[in-house]
Amino acid sequence: MLIDVGLPLSLAFIMFSLGYGLTLADFGRVITMPRAVVVGVCLQVVAVPALAYLALMLFDLPPAMAFGVMLLSFCPGGVTSNILTKLAGGTVALSITLTAIVSLMSVLTVPILVAWAATRFLGAAAPEVDVTRIAMSMVAITVVPVALGLVVRALAAEFAIRTEALLSLIATVLFVLIVVVALVSNWQLFVTSIAMLGPILIGLNALLLFLGMFCARVLGLKGSDGLCISIEMGVQNAALGIAVAGLVAQTGGIPEFAIPAAVYGITMYIVTVPGMFVLRTAFGRD
């Protein structure tokens, strides 16, 4: 019961912190930097799931784990991607814009893609996926909190600026707690599956980082934009993946196909932090 209530509330706060750091100008960057935004959105929404699907064709994972990997790939970038982009010297404004846009788009894309993936990977064992219910739940735990954060930022800008760092810290702590709870709740399954999940998740993460920078450079974007896009692709909202897994299962608690998202919530930093500096050295940021 505590997990069923605490998980969506924690995710809602994380999304509120995202909106808290946004202004309407962030969405206006679609006009001022259209190519970078379009490339970033397309790679996040299309390329990430496509590569995850191809990777699953190479690795023999149990159906529930394969479904969990796909579910993770449908999620938008994580809120910590903005922090990592700043550390790497990437375009922070673009990172904030991409995180916001893809997070809002996920309300439409995730439920539909999850329904397809459940049928594709779970077959007859797939639970009945109520696309409308998942979409409405995602609105409640993502769109509404982001909108509330935007409103608070607009009405009390100075206060929001002063307290933004504190809210980001709380959101990061909540994210860590979500991952820990997911792992502890399925500890035995985690122990037995880490050897299977580790190679595909780490390999996919590294490939996404490289692809983001490579595509950005080929399409004429700056290296700093490429760093941003790479990090947005490599750092997924694992907390949302865990929450959506629970919405699909409808059994309470955290189901087994949330394990890939929980594992990725740890490994993505192990891969992305050194990876972003390697990319910066290899490709530059200007």
Question: Cα dist. 71→109, 112, 149, 193, 241 in Å?
Answer: 11, 11, 26, 17, 6
CA distance 279 to 275: 6
Measure the CA–CA gap between 177 and 14, rounded to whole angstroms: 12
- Predicted pLDDT of residue 22: 76
| pLDDT given for residue 18 in this prediction | 81
Helix axes 81-88, 92-122, angle to 10 degrees: 130
Q: Rounded to the nearest 10 degrees, how much is the dihedral formed by the CA atoms of 83, 244, 117, 126?
A: 160
Instruction: State the average pLDDT for the chain.
Output: 86
Backbone angles phi, psi at 77, to 5 degrees: -65, 155
Q: Judge whether residue 1 has pLDDT over 50.
A: no
Residue whose token pair is 């399925």: 186
Whole-number pLDDT of residue 286: 67
pLDDT band at 57 (very low <50, low <70, confident <90, very high): very high
Report domain extents, the chain: 2-277
Kindly indicate the confidence band of residue 30, based on its pLDDT and cuts at 50, 70 and 90. Answer: low
Tokens 């929404």 locate to 45
278-to-151, 230, 271 alpha-carbon distances in Å: 38, 12, 11
**Residue 72 pLDDT exceeds 90:** yes
Looking at residue 284, what is its pLDDT?
66
| pLDDT tens digits along 124-151 | 877 888 888 888 888 888 888 888 988 9
Q: What is the pLDDT of residues 170-209, one digit of tens each?
A: 888 888 888 887 777 778 877 788 888 999 999 999 999 9
Based on the number of CB atoms within 10 Å of its own CB, is 286 exposed (0-12), middle (13-18) or buried (19 or more)? exposed
What span, in angstroms and rounded, lies between the C-alpha atoms of 77 and 80? 8
- CATH class of the region 2-277: mainly alpha
pLDDT reading at 3 higher than 70: no
The span from the CA of 53 to the CA of 61, in Å, is: 12
Q: What is the pLDDT of residue 65?
A: 92
pLDDT-derived band of residue 214, with 50, 70 and 90 as boundaries? Answer: very high
